[in-house]
Amino acid sequence: MRILLVGAGGVGDAIAKIAARRSFYDTIVVSDYDLGRAERTVEWLEARGQARDRFIAAQVDASDPDSVASLALEHAITHVMNAVEPKFVPTVFAGALAAGADYIDMAMSLSEPHPTDPYTETGVKLGDDQFAQAPDWETAGRLALVGMGVEPGLSDVFARYAADHLFESIDELGVRDGANLVVRDDLGNEIFAPSFSIWTTIEECLNPPVIWERDRGWYTTEPFSDPEVFDFPDGIGPVECVNVEHEEVLLMPRWIDADKATFKYGLGNEFIGILKTLHQLGLDKTDPLTVRSANGPVEVAPRDVVAAGLPDPASIGPRMTGKTCAGLYVTGTAPDGSPRAVYLYHVADNEWTMAEYESQCVVWQTALNPVIALELLASGTWTGRGVLGPEAFDAQPFLDLMAKPLADGGYGQQWGLDERG
């Protein structure tokens, strides 16, 4: 296996660091628009003796399929691992196919709201552009494994596991994500510093949330709908969660039999209030405004100004404490006919991810899962062709490899199963 990693930002960097401790591949080309960023990742591994001549830094333009394809061909790449912003999904996806490589990403092609009824009907859905190209991938005999981060990704693996091993029939597949992360300034005061790109967070939180029901199919609601306090494990505790547009709702119903699929994000009241205010003042907008400046009027997008004023999420790890939990709450009927409710989850503790990987926990947790998936593909445990989600594959070997101790060749990452009434 020869991997082209496209993007050496927070998640790409963590993918390289996690993969560096494994031996299932021959080469990883770490590429970025900013070559220096790719080089820093490789140098970090070399300085710790983990690169072992398997890592190469390269420059790439993720917005250009030809740039991706030519870099892949140059290095005889078998798998393109996409770790850039979702807006570049179409070009990296096309570049991989053009190079005859398999493809993995952690977010799917973007949605567009319904032109007249954005808060009841779907328009272009997340991943629609990719699924429309499934015949091309099938014909080429290549695999595009889409949505293979933590959410989407591990959450979809949990869905498949629940359907195969825990339930006779499923009422709802409900992804529930929550954290108790706190970031402090040098004086120890708590500051507002989102642990994930505010640009992407605004995008997913202010888009109309999508829900799937067996009788209705996919439909949308107003942002922040159906607030629910969900009790997260491992000391995180209760967090207010609301509907947010997310890939799992588009993926799970394609492969798993259930009455309903939802995604609720534990944004908390404070963050929901902030996002609502940004929207109310038009500060979420991506169209440029004309603004006065010392150098005369300039054109800037308000959302870019919001992002520029906040700390870089990749930089806040050392000032952050707490844990993040990704998981799936499944309700339905157990094989014995009794009602069952189960929360399947994985928790990442920032203190541990920083100490082990110098990577903050939200970014590290996202990066873990595609590395496990690549290892299952390398060993032939997972095989497939066409455009497939994580739930199209057997969940058991994934969860086994994830939980198996390091000493036994696993990843040593426990996942949890809470029986809840």
191 vs 341, which CB is nearer to its own copies? 191
Q: Is 314 in the site for its own copies (CB under 8 A)?
A: no
Q: What are phi and psi of 203, to 5 degrees?
A: -55, -50
Contact with its own copies (CB under 8 A) among 237, 288, 318, 339: 288
Question: How far, in Å, CA of 355 to CA of 100, rounded?
Answer: 38
Stretch that binds its own copies, among 40-48, 253-261, 272-280, 376-384 (CB under 8 A): 272-280
293 vs 383, which CB is nearer to its own copies? 293
- 260 close to 213: Cβ distance less than 8 angstroms: yes
Q: Is 202 in the site for its own copies (CB under 8 A)?
A: no
Q: Is 409 in the site for its own copies (CB under 8 A)?
A: no
> DSSP string covering 282-327, please?
TTT--S-EEE--TTS-EEE-HHHHHHHTS--GGG-GGGEESEEEEE
47 vs 294, which CB is nearer to its own copies? 294
193 vs 330, which CB is nearer to its own copies? 193
Least separation, in Å, of the C-beta of 122 and its own copies?
A: 23
Q: Is 289 in the site for its own copies (CB under 8 A)?
A: yes
Least separation, in Å, of the C-beta of 291 and its own copies?
A: 4
Q: Is 76 in the site for its own copies (CB under 8 A)?
A: no
Q: Is 109 helix (H, G, I), strand (E, B) or coil?
A: coil
Q: What H or E segment, with its residue span, contains residue 367?
A: helix 361-378
Single out the residue of 126, 119, 77 nearest to residue 102, CA to CA. 77
Question: How far, in Å, CA of 285 to CA of 281, rounded?
Answer: 9
Q: Is 341 in the site for its own copies (CB under 8 A)?
A: no
Q: Is 269 in the site for its own copies (CB under 8 A)?
A: no
Give the footprint of its own copies on residues 104-163 (CB under 8 A): none
84 vs 150, which CB is nearer to its own copies? 84
Give the footprint of its own copies on residues 173-192 (CB under 8 A): 192
Preceding amide of 152 cis, omega within 30? yes
For residue 122, give both structure tokens.
């779907």
Query: Which DSSP state fits 120?
Result: T
For residue 351, give both structure tokens.
């203190």
What is the binding site for its own copies (CB under 8 A)?
192, 273-274, 277-278, 280-283, 285, 288-295, 298-302, 304-306, 308-310
